[in-house]
Structure 1
Amino acid sequence: MAKRIDVKDLNVYYGDFKAVEGVTMTIEPRSVTAFIGPSGCGKSTFLRTLNRMHEVIPGAHVEGSVMLDDQDLYASGVDPVGVRRTVGMVFQRPNPFPTMSIKDNVTAGLRLNGVKDKKQLAEATEESLKGAGLWDEVKDRLDKPGAGLSGGQQQRLCIARAIAVQPQVLLMDEPCSALDPISTLTIEDLITKLKDDFTIVIVTHNMQQASRVSDKTAFFNLAATGKPGKLIEMDDTQTIFNNPTEKATEDYISGRFG
Structure 2
Amino acid sequence: MSKQIQVSGLDAYYGSHKAIEDVSMTIEPRSITAFIGPSGCGKSTFLRTLNRMHEVVPGARVEGKVLLDGEDLYDPDVEPVSVRRMIGMVFQRPNPFPTMSVYENVAAGLRLNGRIPKPELDDLVEDSLKGANLWNEVKNRLNEPGARLSGGQQQRLCIARAIAVKPEVLLMDEPCSALDPISTLAIEELMSKLKNEYTIVIVTHNMQQAARVSDRTAFFNLAAQGQPGKVIEMDETSRIFTSPSYQATRDYITGRFG
TM-score exceeds 0.5: yes
- Corresponding residue for residue 236 of structure 2: 236
- Corresponding residue for residue 76 of structure 2: 76
Cα distance in structure 2, aligned partners of 1:117 and 1:9? 45
1:37 aligns with 2:37: yes
Cα distance in structure 2, aligned partners of 1:257 and 1:30? 32
Deviations 1:168-216 (A, max 9, x none): 0000000000000000000000000000000000000000000000000
Q: Cα distance, 1:114 vs. partner?
A: 1.6
Cα distance in structure 2, aligned partners of 1:126 and 1:115? 18
Q: Cα distance, 1:118 vs. partner?
A: 0.8
Q: Cα distance, 1:120 vs. partner?
A: 1.7
Cα distance in structure 2, aligned partners of 1:61 and 1:114? 31
Gaps of 5+ in 2: none
Cα distance in structure 1, aligned partners of 2:162 and 2:115? 15
Q: Cα distance, 1:107 vs. partner?
A: 1.0
Cα distance in structure 2, aligned partners of 1:168 and 1:115? 22
C-alpha contact 1:33 1:200 (8 A) present in aligned 2 = yes
- Corresponding residue for residue 225 of structure 1: 225
C-alpha contact 2:90 2:173 (8 A) present in aligned 1 = yes
- Corresponding residue for residue 197 of structure 1: 197
C-alpha contact 1:37 1:221 (8 A) present in aligned 2 = yes
Tell me, what secondary structure is at the counterpart of 1:6? strand
Cα distance in structure 2, aligned partners of 1:120 and 1:174? 33
Cα distance in structure 1, aligned partners of 2:119 and 2:40? 45
What letter is aligned with 2:60? A
Tell me, what secondary structure is at the counterpart of 2:39? coil
C-alpha contact 1:115 1:121 (8 A) present in aligned 2 = no
Cα distance in structure 2, aligned partners of 1:185 and 1:216? 19
Tell me, what secondary structure is at the counterpart of 2:11? strand
What letter is aligned with 2:66? V
TM alignment of 1:111-150, pairs within 5 A: 111-150=111-150
C-alpha contact 1:218 1:235 (8 A) present in aligned 2 = yes
Q: Cα distance, 1:113 vs. partner?
A: 2.2
- Corresponding residue for residue 13 of structure 2: 13
C-alpha contact 2:55 2:62 (8 A) present in aligned 1 = no
Cα distance in structure 2, aligned partners of 1:92 and 1:25? 23
Give structure 1 regions of 4+ aligned residues with deviation exceeding 4 angstroms.
Answer: none
Cα distance in structure 2, aligned partners of 1:76 and 1:150? 42
What letter is aligned with 2:243? N
What letter is aligned with 1:255? G
Tell me, what secondary structure is at the counterpart of 2:217? strand
Cα distance in structure 2, aligned partners of 1:151 and 1:158? 11
TM alignment of 1:156-167, pairs within 5 A: 156-167=156-167
- Corresponding residue for residue 50 of structure 1: 50
Deviations 1:83-105 (A, max 9, x none): 00000000000000000000000
Aligned residues: 258
C-alpha contact 1:173 1:204 (8 A) present in aligned 2 = yes
Root-mean-square deviation (Å): 0.6
1:174 aligns with 2:174: yes
Cα distance in structure 2, aligned partners of 1:131 and 1:92? 20
What letter is aligned with 1:62? V
Q: Cα distance, 1:237 vs. partner?
A: 0.1
1:155 aligns with 2:173: no
Q: Cα distance, 1:115 vs. partner?
A: 3.3
- Corresponding residue for residue 184 of structure 2: 184
Cα distance in structure 2, aligned partners of 1:29 and 1:223? 30
